Amino acid sequence: MPLGQRTAGDKSESRYCGVETDFNEDMPRLLDFNFSAGFDFLLTPLMNPTYRPSLVATGSEAAVLPFAGSDLVLSPAQWSSHVVGKISSWIDLDSEDEVLRQDSETVLRQEIAWASHLSLQACLLPSPRGTSCGNYARCVNQILQGLNNMQLWLRVPLEKSDDDAMDGNSDQAIGGYTDTWQWWNSFRLLCEHHSQLSIALDVMSSLPSGNSLGRWFGEPVRAAIIHTNAFLTNARGYPCLSKRHQKLIAGFFNHSIQVIVVSGNEVHNTSMGTLECSNHTNENSDDTSRHPLRSYLDYVGYLYQRMDPLPEQERFELGYRDFLQSPLQPLMDNLEAQTYETFEKDTVKYSQYQRAVCKALMDRVPDEKASSITTVLMVVGAGRGPLVRASLQAAEETGRKLKVYAVEKNPNAVVTLHSLVKLEGWENVVTIVSCDMRSWNAPEKADILVSELLGSFGDNELSPECLDGAQRFLKEDGISIPSSYTSYIQPVTASKLYNDVKSHKDLLHFETAYVVKLHSVAKLSPSQPVFTFTHPDHSTKKSNQRYTKLRFEIPRDTGSAMVHGFAGYFDATLYKDVHLGIEPSTATPNMFSWFAIFFPLRTPVCLQPGSPLEVHFWRCCGSTKVWYEWCVTSPYPSPIHNCNGRSYWVGL
């Protein structure tokens, strides 16, 4: 039965825990025995491990393959939901022994064909052997080209040669690498980043550094195989895990990575029955207490149940995780009611704006003149009125008099604005202007200019161009809210996002920036500032074109890593010490109006430990559009993406 279910319908696949078993011809009995102990699915061989094609006499009855019985022994639903096939572990497709190599290729194809016939959801491929995996990857890549929806999980030991994980013994190297990420990377490159090739991580008693572990959360990890000898023993004799292992398992749960328990070299004494912290109902204590791995399952279930429930904001954003969306085109397109509705629910954003307007009003009008001076405030891009409301609430809070101009180009939103003004009785305070702020001739100049034109990358919804156009009706000593904003980028491993872009099979999608709720990504280095804009800008030769070159250093203990693109953020100063932003280190808590932006790379960049990543970003301006161009120049050059805005731009 599942480990548990968190609140608000989070039905993550990580609720289901599997068990690795040996070959058994009696599949119904094997399934029943493990199900009665609480496991949800089996990772089991499909073929008798003694079978070798070269030993079978051709043309004889012995040529009938010794699979695990007929496909009729289980129902199609049972095969599909409760069995993950385990490809024979003896195969070695890069062996120097030609007979072994040919046998391995034959068996690999036979077993995957049988698994596909059974409609299994996944098959586990054994770890590569020797110093090369070229032929193994070639055969797998051929199979992937004609495979149905089944996933192939490549078994990857979670090892890396560093001080806190391995002793540097070269005998521990696999596939010629001491960092097993490197041969996973070699394998997936040979298979062209195929979306049906995933990872099953073998979790041992020792773990690499935190930075090294972090890489895997941006990779397509589907399962974590935890060996019993990774467990410690608590004071009562039950299995438990180290704090680092617990943190890792919690990360797996949060990323829908399923846990599979497998018996290692050391098995705890489980004769004492089940753990007190178990969430399972033990209806048959005789059966479940005999299962040698039940107490491990109970501990995994305990870790799952102990996790904090998802915050309301995270529950709201579940459906958006790693889902690529095109950024808004606020000048070219009129927003729809549903979009306004979503943004207006973000109370945190508008409370920050209200704080900023309060401070600006108090600086603008001293207490002794509060009743005699009326401040002119213009909301440019008023939408359906949330900034108008926040500004009027700030005036009431500070006891200042206010005159508001609400400027909005969307005629549909203007209809709502008129209704709001009547409903709230603001007719004597608020003037609605149905016009593009860049072409409006204001009857008077403003003391305060308020806007919410910021995009995920700060300037990507053309806030600079809009506010430049509106600045002419701001007094020389007037205040702009926001007063400045800066964009940021950081390199990320994002295998899912890369494959989603790659699935379109064209240049256009690789040269487009996407808004996305980042989840299954590994952030490889702290973000760095890219472009900054300040308002009002009174310089005589101002330009909104920008260019910057950045150099990122990946921590050495991370090991090698793949950069699939760049995550982009912004941080804005609304007024003085009131800020708003999504840059991870300074992000405004509980604010959901903006997701990050993602700039993909056409060809991912593989970084070696200690090798710097040099990145160039341009903000280019034309007569009808604004666009970004980006490239990598170190460790090796990439093409310049989106040259002349050929694929992605924001229309003026």
Helix axes 386-398, 411-424, angle to 10 degrees: 30
The CATH 3.20.20.150 domain(s) of the chain lie at 24-55+64-265
Architecture of domain 24-55+64-265: Alpha-Beta Barrel (3.20)
**Has 452 been annotated as catalytic?**
yes
What Rg, from alpha-carbon coordinates, does the chain have? Answer: 30
Query: Quick one: pLDDT at residue 621?
Result: 97
Query: Quick one: pLDDT at residue 166?
Result: 38
Over residues 158-200, the pLDDT tens digits come to 976 554 433 434 334 455 557 899 989 999 999 999 999 999 9
Over residues 205-259, the pLDDT tens digits come to 999 999 999 999 999 999 999 999 999 999 888 999 999 999 999 999 999 999 9
Bridge pairing between strands 474-481 and 528-534? unpaired
Instruction: Report the alpha-carbon distance of residue 386 to residue 409 in Å, rounded.
Output: 16
Q: Which two tokens stand for residue 173?
A: 């190297």
Please say whether the beta carbons of 310 and 318 come within 8 A: yes
Please say whether the beta carbons of 467 and 451 come within 8 A: yes
Q: What string of H, E and C letters represents the secondary structure of 517-574?
A: ECCCCEECCCCEEEEEEECCCCCCCCCCCEEEEEEECCCHHHCCEEEEEEEEEEEEEE
Instruction: Report the alpha-carbon distance of residue 487 to residue 544 in Å, rounded.
Output: 13
Q: Which two tokens stand for residue 422?
A: 């009547």
Instruction: Report the alpha-carbon distance of residue 428 to residue 28 in Å, rounded.
Output: 79
Instruction: Report the alpha-carbon distance of residue 206 to residue 164 in Å, rounded.
Output: 8
CA angle at 102 for the pair 96 and 103, rounded to the nearest 5°: 110
| Catalytic-labelled residue, pool 105, 159, 219, 461 | 461
Bridge pairing between strands 430-434 and 232-233? unpaired
437 is in an annotated binding site: yes
* Peptide bond before residue 529 is cis, with ω within 30 degrees of 0: no
Please say whether the beta carbons of 568 and 550 come within 8 A: no
Helix (H) or strand (E) holding 121: none
Please say whether the beta carbons of 588 and 582 come within 8 A: yes
What CATH number has the domain spanning 337-452? 3.40.50.150
Instruction: Report the alpha-carbon distance of residue 445 to residue 316 in Å, rounded.
Output: 41
Over residues 551-579, the pLDDT tens digits come to 999 999 999 999 999 999 999 999 999 99
Place of tokens 């004889």: 60
**Has 276 been annotated as catalytic?**
no
Q: What string of H, E and C letters represents the secondary structure of 337-380?
A: HHHHHHHHCCHHHHHHHHHHHHHHHHHHCCHHHCCCCEEEEEEE
Instruction: Report the alpha-carbon distance of residue 35 to residue 271 in Å, rounded.
Output: 19
350 is in an annotated binding site: yes
Q: Which two tokens stand for residue 45?
A: 């061989």
The CATH 3.40.50.150 domain(s) of the chain lie at 337-452
Q: Which two tokens stand for residue 461?
A: 């919804």
193-214 burial code (b ≥16 CB/10 A, e <16):
bbbbbbbbbbbbbebbbebbbb
Q: What are phi and psi of 569, to 5 degrees?
A: -140, 180
Query: Quick one: pLDDT at residue 430?
Result: 97
Q: Which of 115, 45, 113, 47 is nearest to 79 (CA)?
A: 115
Instruction: Give DSSP secondary structure letters for 161-199.
Output: -STTT----GGG-BTTBSSHHHHHHHHHHHTTT-TTEEE
Count CA atoms within 13 Å of residue 145 on its CB side: 7
Helix (H) or strand (E) holding 620: strand 613-621
Low-confidence ranges of the chain (pLDDT < 50): 8-9, 62, 163-173, 271-288
Q: Which of 456, 458, 482 is nearest to 470 (CA)?
A: 482
| Report field, pTM of the whole predicted structure over 0.85 | yes
Question: What are the CA-CA distances from residue 272 to residues 39, 275, 289 (Å)?
Answer: 19, 9, 8
408 is in an annotated binding site: yes
Q: Which of 453, 439, 491 is nearest to 632 (CA)?
A: 491
Domain 484-651 in CATH 2.70.160.11? The answer is: yes
Query: Quick one: pLDDT at residue 43?
Result: 97
Query: Quick one: pLDDT at residue 519?
Result: 96
What letter represents residue 52's amino acid? R
| Catalytic-labelled residue, pool 452, 465, 583, 629 | 452
